[in-house]
Structure 1
């Protein structure tokens, strides 16, 4: 055995588990694991049992009332850590193998705004930075962390009035997305004398969510609508308008075409029954 969890502290084992992963992935995994360890009062990894995992999963569902998808993600982080610790022989058994995950109810269609709602939200934002932020987020279907991280040097203007922006997405992968002329003109107007290294919007994701919240409340759109709903809506609306699925996949930075394919089946407004002679 390479060393028990008692001989190696939880911190050292977690450091080895996270080593080599993208920084954002490390941060997300560490938050999930830290929350669970605090719930259990920080026991050594080898003391974590199936009962511990079940009680924590119940806590996430029944006390914190997290969505099934969020619960599944947090438990997935623990599964990954315990699998690693077992494979490296830091713990004698992996209790997560026997843990049943909650069934995820697919409700993507509930998080897709209509084109009219999107236009209302953007129109309700303050002219200038706030409006440009929401307009760009929707136009390129970006994650808010990607939008908040854009520097002026990440934009490349084109002769036709459009621009191309480089985005740093999940797993620290870069992708380039075309920005329509009507969107680029609003963004370009914000620059002033900002340097190439300056952040375009100068906002942290939490501040960007405040911008969204104010616009949503003023627009009359569903109060629970988040900035990520604009991303969902961009994917759905572009596919409905006939955009090739591989173009939408690449623009949104999906790792798999299966992820993008969900948006083709996210609208309950159309059904096979519409084509039946009833």
Structure 2
């Protein structure tokens, strides 16, 4: 039977890329305003392109079988002498793409990033379909409470570590002031380190005798975070260490966290989000070394800067701040995300379950007999 309708012409691509490298670089350029995301996406796409190059394949040739092969490869990159090595800068002559096999969570993240790339290329008309989306549907896992936060013992160890930082020299004092400011800022606001790195003092402003911090968050979104008197006092102390007035000026361009001033660097420059991570990690390691509690030491050694965000949410809820307000402070897209930090419900459930005891049940339900006459319980003898 002859066709009654002619075939529709193929739609022209929406991008002008002529090679895989050009297509990937165009996709990555969409994230120029999100440095942390850009680094992560660039790392995973470069790994995948190197793997494809070994197999003499282009992005347009990738099929579902390749996705499954790559997933297995991430579990144990082979041969290790080509793919695995110690962490080094990308420009180092002995740089390797991996430091070892990836954990399941890291593999899921890598595949999610590559799926986003292939969706982009498919919608742009550079290739047909997204083989990463052909994944077996898994049963939705129950969302568990967040455990990566500092309990009270760990938090007190951190505060002690800050209070005992060296202060003999001017540089020691400046380093201590900055570390104290960063820990205080991240804990009281729940901000992400990337948000702190790109912020300015002038982002703090006063309305109706109240201070607010306008934060630029994920995807360039903006939100106002309430600023407590305690945080403003901490800011004044940090600004004093920099030779600044106690409160920021309107639209002041001073970075919210600065490199240490020096003879060659008189202007205040912002520190990177990686520097914030390293400063906080140093405090956590110091707190661990000073603690006599093995469990506290273990918790502090594995902690990262993001734990301060988790801790901010948990401690705000423990303090009785309403769930909706904490969700707004943390800028969660869903209140269910915030609910994961609500440990008080688990504490109450645990305490209530303690009322269920074997001894109490035995005493309460055991029928009374007559021990002197030998009459057994439940006897029908009059």
Decide: shared fold, TM above 0.5: yes
**Structure 1 stretches (4+) deviating beyond 4 angstroms?**
2-5, 15-22, 100-108, 157-160, 265-270
Distance 2:25 2:160 in 1: 46
1:201 to 215, 239, 257: 257
Corresponding residue number in structure 1 for 2:81: none
Partner of 2:23: 13
Higher helix fraction (1 or 2): 1
Q: Considering only aligned residues, what root-mean-square deviation do their CA atoms show, in Å?
A: 3.5
Which ranges in structure 1 are unaligned for 5 or more consecutive residues? none
3-state SS of paired residue (2:302)? coil
Instruction: Please report the TM-score for the alignment, with normalisation by the length of structure 1.
Output: 0.82
- Identify which of 141, 166, 177 aligns with 1:128: 177
Cα distance change, pair 146–267 in 1 and its aligned pair in 2 (3 A): farther
Structure 1 residue 136 displacement after superposition: 0.8
Paired residues in the alignment total 277
8 Å Cα contact 2:52/2:58 also seen in 1: no
Alignment partner, residue 234 of structure 1: 312
- Structure 1 residues 65 and 20, CA gap change in structure 2 (3 angstroms): closer
Q: Distance in 1 between matches of 2:213 and 2:105?
A: 30
- Cα distance in 2 for residues equivalent to 1:44 and 1:136: 47
Could you list the runs of 5+ residues in structure 2 that have no partner in the other structure? 1-9, 78-99, 166-175, 259-270, 289-296, 357-382
Cα distance change on mapping 1:218 and 1:256 into 2, 3 Å = same
CA distance in 1: counterparts of 2:219 and 2:32, whole angstroms: 5
Q: Is the 8 A contact 1:157 1:163 kept in 2?
A: yes
- Cα distance between partner residues in 2 of 1:45 and 1:2: 19
2:111 aligned with 1:80: no
Whole-Å Cα distance in 2 between the matches of residues 247 and 69 of structure 1? 30
Q: Within 5 A, what are the aligned runs for 1:36-47?
A: 36-41=48-53, 43-47=57-61
Higher relative contact order (CA 8 A, sep 6+): 1
Question: 1:145: how far off?
Answer: 0.8
Cα distance in 1, alignment partners of residues 146 and 103 from structure 2: 15
Choose 1 or 2 for highest CA Rg: 2
**Shift in CA distance, 117/164, structure 1 to aligned 2, threshold 3 Å:** same
Q: Is the 8 A contact 1:118 1:230 kept in 2?
A: no
